[in-house]
Chain A
C-alpha cells in the first residue's frame, strides 16, 4: 500500500501528525467492528472515512471522540496517547449525525455550551458564541430554539457549536445525510470552505463517494473493519488497489484474470476478454490473480475494438447514456453519446486505451493495512 499520510497537497506528511491510529481495534462482544487500522491525520487537512454502513467507520470516529473505548491498539494526539482520556478532556469536537442540539437551550446557548469550561467571562462566552454563529451565517437565529429551525439550519448550529471550542480536530458523523440533495451540495462547498478558513483538521465519515471526492484531501476507504486503501482522491480514483475500491468508487467493471508477465512499466494480464498490457498496482507477480478495472468512461464504441459484446440495457442519464453490454459472461458498462446509442440486443465492439485502464488486486493485501 502507499505510505499513509495526508495534507492539502495529498502528499505524505513530513511533520508530526495531529492524530495517529496504530493497530486500532474495536470489538463489541464477539463482533469485530474495527480490525487493526493504521492511519494518520495531518494538521489543516480534510480527511474522509468512506465506506458502506457497518464497515466500522463510525466506530473509529466514536473512539476518537471518546464515546467508545479502544479495544486494542492506540490513538495518539500530538504524539500523546489518548486512549484513556475522557471525551470531555479531549480537544476534539463532534458534529453528530442527529445534530444532538440541546432542545431546552436557545441557539446561542447551544453554541456557547462548551465555552463555560474555558474559564471565560459570561460576556466573552457570548461574544465567542456569536462569532461562531457568524461563521455559519446563523446570527439571525441566535434566540430561537433548535426545533424552530429547519434541518439545514440545525446542521449549521451544530457546526457552530463544535467549532466554537476551537478544537484541534473536528469530527463529522454523516453530517449531511439528513439534508436533501440540493442542500447537501451547498453544504459540501461550505464545509470545505470553512475548513480552509479555520485551518482546522476535519475528519468526516460518509458512505457517499461523491461527497468524499468533493471534500477531501485524503480518503480512507473502509470495508469490514479494515482499510482497503487510503490516499489522495485522485489516487483512489485512478489507481485503485483492490477490486472492491475500483467497484465502490466509480463503478468499474472488474474483469478477473491472471498476470502473465511483469515487464517494466506495465503488466500483461490474461482475461476472458483477451490479453492486455496495462499499468497496475505495485507488487503483483507473474501467475498471481488480479482484476482488470474498466470504468464506464474509459470504454467506447469502436468498430476495431478488441471486445465483442451484446447490449443488454441502455439507461438515459441526461448528459449521456449508460449502456450495459455482456462480453464472455462479464457485464461491462460504458457511456455513449446521444447519437450513438445501440439497440438492445445489438452486437457491438468495444475499445479502450490500455494505458488508461488499471490492474488491481482481487483482495486487500493484508488485514492490518499499511504501516504508517
Chain B
C-alpha cells in the first residue's frame, strides 16, 4: 500500500527528470551518429564522428587537457580543503555555521562577477602587480599573471574549493576523535595518524568532494575563456564552436558524449571506492 503511494508520489518527479535531463542527452546521443552535408544534417548513422575524435590529435589533446585540469584542481583543493574542513568540524565550535555560510558566500555572487574580480586582481594594471611595483619587488608588471593557465587554475581552485571543503567537512564530522586518540595511544605520531586513520576514514568525503570539483572544472567554460587568454581554448569551447559557428552538431554531440562517457566511468570508480571503504555500505 505505502509502496504504491510512494511510487505515485515519485512519478511526476521521475517524469520531469526523464523529460528535462535524460531526453536531451538521448537526442544528443542520436545526433552523434549523424553527419553534416553542407548546411543540412544527414540522418545516416555511422561511427564516423567518434573515429574522427579518436584520430584527431587536437581533440584528444583538448580532452586530455580538460581532465588534466580537473585532476590538478582536485589535488589543490584537497590539500587546501583538508585543514579547512578539519578546523570547521573539530575546532570551529560555535562559529561553525557562520564560517560555513562564509565559505559559501562566493557561490552566491555569480560566475562572471568572480571572474572579473580575478581580472582586477591579476591584470597588468591590477592590484597584485601595482602592489609589487609599489613595494619595489619588480619594475614592470608581471605579464604572465593574467591570461595564462596560472590565472585559470587560481580562479578554478577558488571557484570550486567550497565543494571539496563541504565533502571533507561531512567526513570529518563523522570522524570520532577517539580513533585519533587510540592511534596516538598506540604510538602513531601525527603524520602516521593522518595516513593510517584520518585519510582512510575521510576518504569517502574526499571522493565525493573530488568528483564534484572534477566534473565542474572539466565543464567550466567561462573561467578559461575569460582568464586563460590564448590557453583558454578548452574542449567545452570547442563543443560550443561546433554547435555555433561551425554548425557541426553531430561532431559536437560526439565530443560531448565522449566526455560524458569518461566522466561516468570516473563516477563508477568513485562509487565503487566509497562502497568499499568501511563508512558506507554493509558487509
Footprint of B on A, CB under 8 Å? 65-67, 86-89, 92-94, 96, 98, 100-104, 113-114, 116-118, 145, 147-148, 161-162, 165
Q: When the two chains form the complex, which single residue of A104, A148, A165 contacts B201, counting CB atoms closer than 8 Å?
A: A104
Closest Cβ of chain B: how far from A178's Cβ, in Å? 13
Given the known inter-chain contacts A88-B188, A117-B187, please indicate yes or no for A104 contacting B277, CB distance below 8 A.
Answer: yes
Let me know if B182 and A165 touch, CB within 8 A: no
Closest Cβ of chain B: how far from A299's Cβ, in Å? 46
Bound complex: CA A67 to CA B184 (Å): 9
Bound complex: CA A148 to CA B278 (Å): 11
Query: Does B200 sit within 8 A of A, measured CB to CB?
Result: yes
Let me know if B278 and A88 touch, CB within 8 A: no
Let me know if B186 and A98 touch, CB within 8 A: no
Is the contact region of chain B dominated by helix, strand, or loop, or is it mixed? helix
Q: Which of B173-210 contact A (CB under 8 A)?
A: 176, 178-179, 181-189, 192, 196-197, 200-201
Let me know if B201 and A113 touch, CB within 8 A: no
Q: When the two chains form the complex, which single residue of A65, A98, A145 contacts B283, counting CB atoms closer than 8 Å?
A: A145
Residues of A within 8 A of B62 (CB): none
Q: A-facing mask of B271-283, CB < 8 A → 1, else 0?
A: 0000001110001
Let me know if A145 and B278 touch, CB within 8 A: yes
Q: When the two chains form the complex, which single residue of B176, B187, B283 contacts A100, counting CB atoms closer than 8 Å?
A: B176
Let me know if B178 and A104 touch, CB within 8 A: no
12 A-B residue pairs with CB within 8 Å: A67-B184, A86-B184, A88-B187, A94-B185, A104-B200, A104-B201, A113-B188, A114-B186, A114-B187, A114-B188, A145-B283, A161-B182
Let me know if A98 and B178 touch, CB within 8 A: yes
Let me know if B197 and A102 touch, CB within 8 A: yes
Q: A-facing mask of B123-149, CB < 8 A → 1, else 0?
A: 000000000000000000000000000
Bound complex: CA A236 to CA B182 (Å): 33
Bound complex: CA A354 to CA B189 (Å): 59
Given the known inter-chain contacts A98-B176, A100-B176, please indicate yes or no for A87 contacting B277, CB distance below 8 A.
Answer: no
Let me know if A100 and B196 touch, CB within 8 A: no
Residues of A within 8 A of B189 (CB): 86, 88
Given the known inter-chain contacts A100-B176, A102-B197, A165-B186, please indicate yes or no for A87 contacting B181, CB distance below 8 A.
Answer: yes
Q: When the two chains form the complex, which single residue of A92, A100, A118, A147 contacts B182, counting CB atoms closer than 8 Å?
A: A100
Let me know if A113 and B181 touch, CB within 8 A: no
Let me know if B278 and A100 touch, CB within 8 A: no
Let me know if B185 and A87 touch, CB within 8 A: yes
Bound complex: CA A148 to CA B277 (Å): 15
Let me know if A67 and B283 touch, CB within 8 A: no
Closest Cβ of chain A: how far from B179's Cβ, in Å? 6
Chain A residue at minimal CB-CB distance from B186: A114
Let me know if A104 and B182 touch, CB within 8 A: no
Bound complex: CA A101 to CA B279 (Å): 13
Chain B residue at minimal CB-CB distance from A103: B278
Closest Cβ of chain A: how far from B49's Cβ, in Å? 44
Bound complex: CA A93 to CA B188 (Å): 12
Closest Cβ of chain B: how far from A172's Cβ, in Å? 12
Let me know if B187 and A67 touch, CB within 8 A: no
Bound complex: CA A117 to CA B192 (Å): 10
Bound complex: CA A218 to CA B171 (Å): 43
Residues of B within 8 A of A86 (CB): 184, 189
| Further contacts, 11 of them, CB under 8 A, given A94-B182, A103-B201 | A66-B184, A87-B181, A87-B184, A88-B185, A96-B178, A98-B178, A100-B178, A103-B279, A113-B196, A116-B187, A145-B278
Given the known inter-chain contacts A103-B201, A148-B283, please indicate yes or no for A67 contacting B188, CB distance below 8 A.
Answer: no
Most chain B CB within 10 A, of A89, A104, A113, A145, is at: A104
Chain A residue at minimal CB-CB distance from B181: A67
Let me know if A88 and B179 touch, CB within 8 A: no
Q: A-facing mask of B141-182, CB < 8 A → 1, else 0?
A: 000000000000000000000000000000000001011011
Bound complex: CA A162 to CA B187 (Å): 11
Closest Cβ of chain A: how far from B130's Cβ, in Å? 47
Closest Cβ of chain B: how far from A156's Cβ, in Å? 16
Bound complex: CA A257 to CA B197 (Å): 59
Closest Cβ of chain A: how far from B274's Cβ, in Å? 12
Bound complex: CA A208 to CA B186 (Å): 27
Residues of A within 8 A of B187 (CB): 88-89, 114, 116-118, 165
Let me know if A65 and B185 touch, CB within 8 A: yes
Let me know if B185 and A104 touch, CB within 8 A: no
Residues of B within 8 A of A118 (CB): 187
